[in-house]
Structure formats: structure tokens, C-alpha cells
Structure 1
């Protein structure tokens, strides 16, 4: 009991010491809690897979808690070492008892996405990969149900057994793994992606990835309700797709208005250059370097804003089919928003150049305050980078979300 409390308190280093001194602790089970390995499997934040986001890690490392980051790395190292130690002690038991002790932590890890525990267990005891819960869901079916891509990706590290393990049928609904991919996940997993349209894209990517590993007959298999996997998907995601269409249209309309305003301003600025025209029709600042910066920045702002408008118009006129949600719509949104951001920054540069041309050399008291104020939009743009990154990753995440995580052979 004390050993389990230490693990719950993330004191894996002390737990590792106790296992070395008292090996019998590794196989002791507590009613309602399970073995120490099961307790450790619930501590998702003790492993790299349960770590905070990249942005939070970067912030902690450089700004807030550089020492705390080192402590987290040590905690994760101790937790992995403790898992290995517990697995080795369980291996000393007979196969039936070992399978029993490995089953619960393995399924817990699959539910919560702690792939490190699954890898360690299967590495020392390969038969554990065939463990299933009371509804006959194995590790990969649980990973699909709960959208744990880091667990499902372990299938890429398996040998030909992966074609057997995907044949499991659950009880009592007779769903295969592709039926489970067609179900709507819990809201906490769905909301990891911002926006209903990008959530639909993520769901379609999951369905397509799982489809690669099932047998041809499973793709059109009928469950107990008489539904194929694709029928399950369409029924479960019908409302989400409607919400995705509405979200995409609202976003595109708002961005179109902003891009149109920028295009109008950039077009007018190009016709009415600062300083007026000389007798030969050229600007009085034609030979000034700042005028060249103004002209280039204004042209970039105009062309990028027009490109943005065209991309958002293509979104508004889309058919909103499943294929559109998977590729065309996210790509259009990424390109449109990228061009919009470029046009905003270019417009700020063009405006700064114009202010410098008009007031530059003689009126520093005007140029400096105006230049300082221009920092505000740039700062707001930087604050929007995490949101923009989410949208960009949602477009690029197709090849990046799934795939082999390491060269380690699972089974």
C-alpha cells in the first residue's frame, strides 16, 4: 500500500530503491487499485508521452521554470526505470500469473495513451499484446476508441502479427476495429483540435489510417446493428460535419472581410504614393531606399491579400464533402490565413516606410512614437502564433500524426 502511495506521489526514485530491496512489492496487489505497475500506468504525467505541450516546455525552459524542467526529466527517467524493474520482477512468476499482472496496466496504458509502458511490457512478455478487456477490446482497439495515436502507432513496429490483432471483434456489438474508428470519441479527445472542421479532418485521418490495417472483408463488415464501418462513421459524425461546415464558412467570411479591406488600402496606397509626383511623373522619393521598401511591401500586401480572398472564396463555394474536409478545406484555410498574415505585416511595413519618407529626417519626435505603436500589431501577431500553429499542424498532421515512432520491434 505504501509503495503504491509513493508511486502516486511521483516518487519513482524511492520506489525503484524499494523494489531493489524488497522485490515482493512488485507483485503485490491491492484490492480496487491493482498492482504497482497498474498504479504507475495511471500516472500519465510521469512519462514523456504525458508531458505538456511543446510551447509550454519551451516557455518553462527559457522563461519560467528551468530547474523544474530538469526535475521533470529526472522524474520521467525514474518512472521508466521503475517500469523496467517491475516488469523484470513479474517475469519471475509463472506465465499465467505474469499475464494476469501485465493485463491490467497494459489496458490502462492503452486507454490513457502511455505507450512507454506498453512497449516495456510487450518487450519482456510478448503474449501480453493479446490481452483484452471484458468487451474484447485489445490494446489497439482501445487506442482507436480513445484516439491515442501514440499507442496505435505501435502497430507500425509489429511484425505480421498486426494483421491478426486487428481481427478482434468486440462484444456484444460485433464491431471490428474500423467500426470503432467510425465512432465519435469523447469530447476531451475531440477538443484537442481547435474548430469543428479541423476535428472532422482529424477523424477522417483516423478512419483512413485504421483502414490500412484491416482485411478487405472487414472494410464492409456488418456489425450487430447491420451497419458497415463507413455507415457508423457518417451517422456518428453527421452533426460534427454540419458544425464543421458552419465553422469553416464563418471563419472564411470573417477573413474575407479583413483581406478585402487590406487589398483596398494597399491598392489605394499604390496609386497615391507619398510625396506626390514630380514633373516627369515619378515620385519625389523615387531614388530613396525607403520608397523602394514602401513599393515592394505595398505590392506584397496587395497580392497576398488578393490571394487570401481567392482562397477563402474557394472555401465558401466548396461542396463540403468528406474528401474536402480531409484535404482541400484545411489546405485552403492554411494558405488563406498565411496570405492574410503576410498582407497585414506587409501593410505595416509599407505604412512605416511612408511615415519615414514624409517625416523621417527632420521630425524624429513623430517617427519614433509612431514606430513604437506599430509594434503592437506585430506583438498581437506573435500571440496568435500558437493558434496558427494548431491550424497549420492540422493540415500537415496527416503524415505526421501516424507512423513508426521508433525502430524497436514490438512483437
Structure 2
């Protein structure tokens, strides 16, 4: 529409933006409900992961040296892998939990659904995936160290079983992430920053109008 039409009012003294907001109010409510349900479910999962990996971090597998308190498996490569992956899982899980909590406490305004809320959900889902994958790698490392007597042939079945939950979460969450990324960063009406700020630039003329 032309710039003049953006500020014109109808018989009820409503601008096009006001009419659009009124006619799509139910979509805002539905989007808010879906966003809250998704964030609550993901925050519960993130909280469980954080609890598990924190307990694993303070309960050192194999025990400690009674005199110095140093872990007995400190020099083993598998123990180093476990420590690094457990720390990554803890930090990324805590970050995902905080992101989902920030979604639950937001105001859910109409413009928030354009960039802010989808961006937070993308960050939270990516952090949750990283936390889950790191947790599985840490579990496999300590399982190989503590129960497999360092037999290399056991790495294949352990690694294969560890890939199952990772493949499940990727299969289920990847389509959602792709849709969120496309709708947030590949808009069909131009740059999201221009739309969010009320700035519309014509492709056929040299003028620009800013609300």
C-alpha cells in the first residue's frame, strides 16, 4: 500500500494496523499458549539434565585418593572426556533453562512474535540439544572407563546406542528449528528490522516512509 494509506482511518476511526491487530488477536493468544507450553516442556527437560550432570560432577566416578582427594581416573583420557562433556552439558543446560524461563516471563506483545520470541526459542532449543548430546558423550566415556575395562571394541556398541537419543531429538526438533529460522531470518516482506521499526522501502520508487 502507499504511505498515505498507512495512516488513513476507516469509518470506525481505525488505522490498518489497528484493524490487523484486532482481527488477529486470537492468533496472538494461540501463539502465546503454544510458546508457553513448549517452553515449559523444554525447561523441565533442561532442569532434569542440569540436575543429573551436576550430580555426576560432584560424584567423581571411581572415587578419589584418600590422602590428596585427587580422582583415581584423573590420567585417563576417557575421564577427561567425561569432565569436559559434563561441564559443557551443565553450562548449556543451565543456559537453556534460563532462556526458556525468560520466554515464560515475557509480556508476549504482538511485535515480540516477529523476532524476539522466535530468537529466544531457537537459542534455547540449540542449547538444549548441545546439553543432551554432551550428556550422552559424558555417560559413554565414563561407562567405557568404569565398566568396559578399556576394551576398544566396546566403543562401537556404546557409541551406537548413544546416537539413538541424539538422533531422536534431532529428528523431532530440527523441522521446528528450520521453520523458526526461516520465519525469523528469511521473511517474505523484506528485512525484519525494517518491518519491526515501521520502515517500508519500495522496490520501484526512491521514497521511504517511516511510521
Normalization by structure 1: what TM-score?
0.43
What residue number does 2:180 align with? 391
- In structure 2, distance between residues paired with 1:329 and 1:410: 32
Is the counterpart of residue 285 in structure 1 residue 73 in structure 2?
Answer: yes
Is the counterpart of residue 358 in structure 1 residue 143 in structure 2?
Answer: no
- In structure 2, distance between residues paired with 1:367 and 1:229: 62
Q: 1:402 to 1:323 in 2, by over 3 A?
A: closer
What residue number does 2:47 align with? 260
2:34 aligned residue (217, 223, 247): 247
- In structure 1, distance between residues paired with 2:145 and 2:54: 19
1:11-410 equivalence runs, <5 A: 177=1, 214-215=2-3, 217-224=4-11, 226-278=13-65, 279-362=67-150, 368-384=156-172, 385-398=174-187, 401-403=188-190
Q: 1:362 to 1:290 in 2, by over 3 A?
A: closer
Instruction: Report SS of the residue matched to 2:68.
Output: coil
Tell me how far 1:332 sits from its aligned partner: 1.1
The answer to whether the 8 A contact 2:74-2:80 is kept is yes
Tell me how far 1:386 sits from its aligned partner: 2.5
Q: 1:311 to 1:362 in 2, by over 3 A?
A: closer
- In structure 2, distance between residues paired with 1:296 and 1:222: 61
- In structure 2, distance between residues paired with 1:410 and 1:396: 23
Structure number, greater radius of gyration: 1
Tell me how far 1:363 sits from its aligned partner: 5.1
- In structure 1, distance between residues paired with 2:185 and 2:111: 15
Tell me how far 1:260 sits from its aligned partner: 0.1
- In structure 2, distance between residues paired with 1:225 and 1:293: 67
Aligned CA RMSD, in angstroms, stands at 2.3
Tell me how far 1:229 sits from its aligned partner: 0.5
Q: Which runs of 5+ in 2 are unaligned?
A: 192-202, 206-211
- In structure 2, distance between residues paired with 1:367 and 1:297: 17
- In structure 2, distance between residues paired with 1:328 and 1:294: 35
Give the number of equivalent residue pairs. 192
- In structure 2, distance between residues paired with 1:362 and 1:311: 39
Larger RCO, structures 1/2 (Cα 8 Å, 6+ apart): 2
Q: 1:273 to 1:392 in 2, by over 3 A?
A: farther
Q: Which runs of 5+ in 1 are unaligned?
A: 1-176, 178-213
Instruction: Report SS of the residue matched to 2:70.
Output: coil
